Structures are given as structure tokens and as C-alpha cells.
Amino acid sequence: MKRFIGFIRKEFYHIFRDKRSLFILFGMPIAQILLFGFAITNEINNVDIAILDHSKDATTQEIINKISASKYFSIDAFITREADIESVFKKGKIKAVLNFEKDFSKKLIKENVATIQIITDATDPNTANTISNYTNSILQKYMQEQNKDIKPIYTIIPQTRMVYNTELKSVFMFVPGVMTIILMLVSAMMTSISITREKELGTMEILLVSPLKPIQVIIGKVVPYILLSVINAIVIVVLSIFIFNMPVEGSLFILGLESVLFIINALSLGILISTISKTQQTAMMISLMGLMLPVILLSGFIFPISSMPLPLQLISHVIPAKWFIIIVKAIMLKGVGITFIWKETLILLGMTLFFIGLSVKKYKIRLE
């Protein structure tokens, strides 16, 4: 035990004396979360839309004017047939089509209810969602103005329809994604680098010719990074709550436990990488290419998995980050308990055990 503590103390010396890795450890999470938080916003500006007006009366004209007066939308085309909707979308410039039903004014006066269909191009689900929200709020405002002196109350029903990604499953929430990336990067890359550094500097040779067992070396390498990653996770959650008003509906305790599980998963991947790479540079490249890219591209963080081609969807199943993002979203946004995410947790746990087993098996007790 004393040996083990001595080893961990040495690891902390390494971490705190290397300014660059300290910067990666603590500077990056903060920079990333702020960058993603402020740069990737849900704001839209002058989005091109098309109008399909079947009634062409005073009310629809008024609504169209309101919409075109807002800074969010600019009307690019007026179309006359339902059949044209598809072709304007295919050109790619138009992001939404507003479809006013026939006899809009008449219905509003007679039945007090009229319908506008908001059709959005959901290839970018984030923008599509925002467009429909903004349109709705313009309509709401218009109704309030109208209803001030008229009784009975007019109701305009907006029917939202998304095309190309109809279910709109990926609510763009960057915090779970950033958290996943940071934990993956810190845990996997830093451990793999710190182990390969021992190989590169030749100190691994001395460690091998010592009574330290492989498992002691591995755990000794891992423990400091578990602690640091947990601190990172806390920083990210605190930042997202206080700066971006991210809701945390579920239990912070479960979120913490799940995070530790994911951190251990990433660490075991880091050890695995270190067993197959000889230099720090290789370890870093493998971590970046082999872990970061899949995490960013295939985990559902930026690109919704549901809109990926099937082969990529299948690949995404073996990416631990995907399951962690699902868990974090479920806890933070939906506020569910462990009963709803046990399946994902089990998958993550299974992957972790597999990676740990593999890396202990692959850890070399000799130089070749």
C-alpha cells in the first residue's frame, strides 16, 4: 500500500509540474464549454423562407408582413402549388415554408379558427426547431394584438411539420457533449501519454525491474486522473448551470456516479492505447483520431444519430460516448432516475470491464 501511495504521489508531481498538461487539464474544459456555449447558439438571422398562400386575403397579408418585418426571416419566394414545396426545399436555400390554408380570413371570422402549416427543413434540426418556435411566437403576438378588441377570440393554429428528420430526436444540447469530450480527452489521452512517457524516457525499464506489480502501476497511473476528471466534470456542470442555465432535473448523485463510470471507461481506453503505442506522439495521435473523432462525429453530440446512414448508426453503438451522452441527457434534461437508464449504464459498465480486462492482459511485463 505504501508503494502504491508513493507511486500516486509521484504521478501528482508529474501532473502539477508540467504546465502544458495542467493547462489541458483545467484550461480546456472551461474554454470548450464557453466556446460551445457562446459560439454555437440557437440564434437565427434572416433565414430564407417561402410562402404558400392559398387565400391571399387581408389577414394572411398582414401576417406575412409581420414575419417579413422581423429580423429573423426574409421571404425569398412565393409559391402557388403544394407540389412546389419539395422543389424549393431541394434547392437548399429555403429553410421553411409557411402554408396558409384556403379562406384563412373567412374561417377566422366564421369559425374563429384558422390554420397555418409551418414546414421546416430539418436536416439541421436545431435551426428547424428554432424557426418553428420563432414563427409561433410571431403568430402568438399577432393574435394577442387582434384579440384585444374582438370577441370571440380568434385562434390561429400553427401546424408544425418537419421534413427529412421528422422525429427531431436530437435536441441540441451541447453540455452533455462537451462534458463527454472533455472527460474522454483528459482521461484517455492524458493517461496514455503519461504511460508512454515512462516508456519513452526509459523509466518504464526501471519500474519493470522493481517489485511493483503491473496492476499497481496501472491503478497508480489511473487514480490521479480519476480525481482530476471528477473535478473537471464538476467544473463543467457548475459552469453550465450558472452561465448557461442548464437544467439539472435529475439526481446529481447519479450523474456523478455515471460520470465516474464513464471516466473509468475512458481511462481503460487510455491504458489500452498506451499498450500499443511506443511514443507519446503516437499515443496522442491515436487518442485524437481513434477517440476524439468518433466522440465528436458519431456519438450524437453534433450530428443526430437518427439522421445517419445505417452503417454509421451501427458503428455508433460501440462508442461509449454515445451511451454516456444519452445518460447525461436523460438525467440533466428529463430528470429520470436509474430505472430508466439502467440499460445504457449496463452497456457502459460492460464496455468498461472489457477494456480493463483487455488492457491488463495487453500490459507488458517485459520490454517486448
A 10 A CB-CB count for 95 gives: 24
- Tell me the C-alpha to C-alpha distance, in Å, between residue 167 and each of 86, 92, 161, 177, 306: 18, 20, 10, 20, 9
- Minimum CB separation from other proteins for residue 338, in Å? 40
Shorter beta-carbon distance to other proteins: residue 16 or 164: 16
| Residue 84 binds other proteins, judged by CB under 8 A | no
Provide the CB-side half-sphere exposure for 229 (13 A, CA). 30
CB 209 within 8 A of CB 366: no
Question: Could you tell me which residues come within 8 angstroms of residue 179 by beta carbon, excluding any fewer than 6 positions away?
Answer: 233, 236, 237, 259, 328
Strand arrangement, sheet containing 155-163: 73-79, 47-53, 96-100, 113-121, 155-163
- Three-state DSSP at 221 gives helix
Cα end-to-end span (Å), the chain = 28
Our CA angle for 45, 308, 336, nearest 5°, is 80
Tell which one of 2, 20, 71, 90 touches other proteins (CB under 8 A): 2
* Piece of the chain touching other proteins by CB under 8 A; list 3-11, 121-129, 165-173, 282-290: 3-11
203 forms part of the interface with other proteins (CB under 8 A): yes
Residue choice 150, 206, 243, 346 for contact with other proteins (CB under 8 A): 206
Region of 24-32, 186-194, 200-208, 287-295 interacting with other proteins (CB under 8 A): 200-208
Question: 301 and 321 in contact (C-beta within 8 Å)?
Answer: yes
The binder of other proteins chosen from 69, 152, 211, 339 (CB under 8 A): 211
Among 73-81, 116-124, 203-211, 249-257, the segment contacting other proteins (CB under 8 A): 203-211
Number of residues in contact with other proteins, rule: CB under 8 A?
Answer: 26
CB of 333 to other proteins, least distance (A): 43
Q: Which is nearer to other proteins, 4 or 303 (CB)?
A: 4
Query: Which residue in 140, 210, 279, 281 binds other proteins (CB under 8 A)?
Result: 210
Q: Are 180 and 320 in contact (CB under 8 A)?
A: no
Residue number with CB closer to other proteins (206 or 243): 206
| Residues of span 10-29 touching other proteins by CB under 8 A | 10, 13-14, 17-18
Q: Which of 24, 75, 212, 231 binds other proteins (CB under 8 A)?
A: 212
Residues 332 and 347: their CA atoms lie apart, in Å, by 19
Closest distance of CB 287 from other proteins, Å:
21
What letter represents residue 197's amino acid?
A: R
Least Å distance, CB 328 to other proteins, is: 35
State yes or no: residue 6 binds other proteins (CB under 8 A): yes
- Of the ranges 43-51, 82-90, 154-162, 208-216, which one interacts with other proteins (CB under 8 A)? 208-216
CB of 217 to other proteins, least distance (A): 10
The count of other CB atoms within 10 Å of the CB of residue 12 is 13
Smallest distance from the beta carbon of 2 to other proteins, in angstroms?
Answer: 6
Task: Residue 99: name the closest of 38, 153, 53 by CA.
Answer: 53
List interacting residues with other proteins (CB under 8 A): 2-3, 5-7, 9-10, 13-14, 17-18, 201-203, 205-212, 365-368
